[in-house]
Structure 1
Amino acid sequence: MTNKRKLSLRFQKSKITSQKLRYLNVLLLLITAIAFSACGSKPETKENENFSLQNDTITIPLTSTIAPRIKLETVTTEPYQLELIAAGTVKAIPNFYAEIAPPFSGRVTKVHLKLGMKTQSGTPLFEMVSPDFTDAQKNYFQAKSAYQIAKLSLKRQQDLKSNGVGSQKDLEEAETNAEVSEKEYQNAIASLKIFGVNINKLVFGQPLIIASPIAGEIIANDIVMGQYIKDDDAPKAKVADLKKVWVAGQVKEKDIRFIHELDGAEIQVASYPDKKITGKIYHVDEIVDEATRSVQVLIECHNSDHALKPGMYVTVKFIDTPENTLFVPAKAVLQFNDKSFVFVQLEKGKYIRRYVETGISNKGKIAILSGLKPNETIISEGAFYLLEAK
């Protein structure tokens, strides 16, 4: 074997040896990494040793590191009065509110009303001359005259028939004519009474007197002497009795179950921050507003000082009847998927998961509607340490 061949064999052996060394180094690094990883998992195993799970019961030894962090509380009921806040608007009560619009076109000849004037039902507000009203008067007097003549003709035919002089045919014609005339007369009376006309004092050609239909006061007035008003014009005056008003509160549909008729409500007005205004729920609407997903609730309020004015925005605080309610600390209630639960103490150091139905939140506490009973003891703080128990 030549020297050149010997050198080549030595070089190949040296190359193989270096590759083995690299493989050994990589293997050593992997073993070291696995060892460090195993060391890192030891605290988790130790943490799980803080409690044990048997069936549904969790046991926490006194030597556990989380035992001092667990706080307990015995749940009891307490009186709770629901206070629901909603936005509201003041409205005039429909039966105590009227918009004044004349029944005929005409020109105003006299004005009696003014803003703030007190009215009674039938109080004259203004007068106007109207050709249509004159025609209505004419029809009334013509119908009245025709009816009087028809009655006299009927009486005459009845007398003639009773004396054997008149015919049955003439009597029947007189009776029919009297019936038709009477109906026309009654229709003419009704058409005038609709406009508040006293037919017993009616004089042909008199102006049309527009009167207030309700007791109250004038809250709007656009009547001007000499102006011409059409029968299809917008109302020119408004009368309202504001000693009582409605406040229309908007309650979200999710909260409507807390609202009951005749329950109380407090009204807060920005312009009178120190004034206490109370009312009673008068009506709860049956229809939900699709745009706001709210239900209108009407509250009737006494308003003798007129502090509440129609159109005013207010804040409504609904007050429910106090009820004994079971409350637990908010930290005690945990979630699993879409369910709520608490840990209930069975005996010292032993606890069980209990699913509950929750209600409203108030001052860091949550109402429990079902799932717990008074005088049961629960974990009030530190329950999240037990979330790994399955």
Structure 2
Amino acid sequence: RAAVAGAPEAAETMLRAARQRLEHHFALEPAILEEIERTGEPVRSVPVRAPATGFILERNAYAGQMVRPGMDLYKMADLTRVWVLASVPEPELGAVREGSRAVITASFAPRLRRTAVVAQVQPRADAQSRTLDLRLELDNPDLALRPDLFVQVEFGRARAARVAVPEEALIDRGFEQIVYVEKEAGLFAPRRVTAGERGGGWVEILGGLKAGERVAASGAFLVDSESRMRSGAR
């Protein structure tokens, strides 16, 4: 019989196509393909291996079930790094942008406190709830966070630089609050100020004093007493 021109090349092309289909669509391992080529016999069962390490979240395949190319047999996830989906109220949006950090806590794990980073902010807010959805990402090495659990997300508020003085520099007369501001070397003059929050030995000054001005700290009460004595003697 005369050989058909180009038949060997066509057969080789079909063989390569079949091999690629088995490799990519059915994920057959090279050892199994080599066994089929060597024996010329079909295989009755093949192992299906997960492409990555993770946890099975959903199972769609059972013994005896017919499967098709592209069908999801299992859904898996790597839970060592997770997403947190949050809805942020409109008044809090000023502190949120991509790259912002937040603290994650959970009622089911009182000691849990993790730092997450905003990876994505949705471009459109919910008109009814007046919230904006965003996605945060964080490491979860101990697997404490699991899918569909509720957590709390707390964003820090950026605060502008504030003027503060030591507590002993502020003199509270009841009807007014003053500090002694240095006019020139060794010369101090009283000035009314508005005090704010206190903490750590410092007092926030909301008004009446500028950043960089020097005030009398130690001995301010004595300076004030001497000033009032001089005023009364006049």
TM-score w.r.t. length of structure 2: 0.54
Map of 2:48 onto structure 1: 210
Map of 2:220 onto structure 1: none
Is 1:319–2:152 an aligned residue pair?
no
**Rounded Cα–Cα distance in structure 1 between residues aligned with 2:147 and 2:31:** 39
CA RMSD of aligned residues (A): 3.6
Residue among 168, 192, 211 paired with 2:22: 192
**Rounded Cα–Cα distance in structure 2 between residues aligned with 1:184 and 1:257:** 61
Distance 1:182-1:301 versus aligned 2 partners, 3 A rule? same
Answer yes or no: is the 8 Å Cα contact 1:263–1:320 preserved in 2.
Answer: no
Q: What amino acid sits opposite 1:191 in the alignment?
A: R
Structure 2: tracts of 5 or more residues without a match = 164-196, 198-205, 210-234
**Rounded Cα–Cα distance in structure 1 between residues aligned with 2:92 and 2:9:** 62
Question: Whose helix proportion is higher, 1 or 2?
Answer: 1
Map of 2:82 onto structure 1: 245
Secondary structure of the corresponding residue to residue 141 of structure 2: coil
**Rounded Cα–Cα distance in structure 1 between residues aligned with 2:47 and 2:58:** 18
Map of 1:335 onto structure 2: none
1:113-138, CA deviations, whole angstroms, 9 ceiling, x for partnerless residues?
xxxxxxxxxxxxxxxxxxxxxxxxxx
Distance 1:185-1:267 versus aligned 2 partners, 3 A rule? same
Kindly state the Cα deviation for residue 256 of structure 1 after the two structures are TM-superposed.
3.0
Q: Percent identity?
A: 22
Distance 1:314-1:182 versus aligned 2 partners, 3 A rule? same
Q: What amino acid sits opposite 1:310 in the alignment?
A: P
**Rounded Cα–Cα distance in structure 2 between residues aligned with 1:181 and 1:375:** 92
1:195-247, CA deviations, whole angstroms, 9 ceiling, x for partnerless residues?
211245322321132221211233445655x4424449985533221011010
Is 1:269–2:80 an aligned residue pair?
no
Structure 1: tracts of 5 or more residues without a match = 1-152, 154-169, 327-362, 364-372, 377-390
Secondary structure of the corresponding residue to residue 153 of structure 2: strand
Map of 1:304 onto structure 2: 141
1:139-194, CA deviations, whole angstroms, 9 ceiling, x for partnerless residues?
xxxxxxxxxxxxxx8xxxxxxxxxxxxxxxx9xx53xx566445433332232122
**Rounded Cα–Cα distance in structure 2 between residues aligned with 1:223 and 1:272:** 34
Secondary structure of the corresponding residue to residue 323 of structure 1: coil
Secondary structure of the corresponding residue to residue 256 of structure 1: helix
Answer yes or no: is the 8 Å Cα contact 1:280–1:301 preserved in 2.
Answer: yes
**Rounded Cα–Cα distance in structure 2 between residues aligned with 1:248 and 1:311:** 10
Secondary structure of the corresponding residue to residue 286 of structure 1: coil
Answer yes or no: is the 8 Å Cα contact 1:264–1:318 preserved in 2.
Answer: yes
TM-score w.r.t. length of structure 1: 0.34
1:67-109, CA deviations, whole angstroms, 9 ceiling, x for partnerless residues?
xxxxxxxxxxxxxxxxxxxxxxxxxxxxxxxxxxxxxxxxxxx
Map of 1:256 onto structure 2: 93
Q: Which has the larger radius of gyration?
A: 1
Secondary structure of the corresponding residue to residue 113 of structure 2: strand
Secondary structure of the corresponding residue to residue 56 of structure 2: strand
How many pairs does the alignment contain?
A: 158
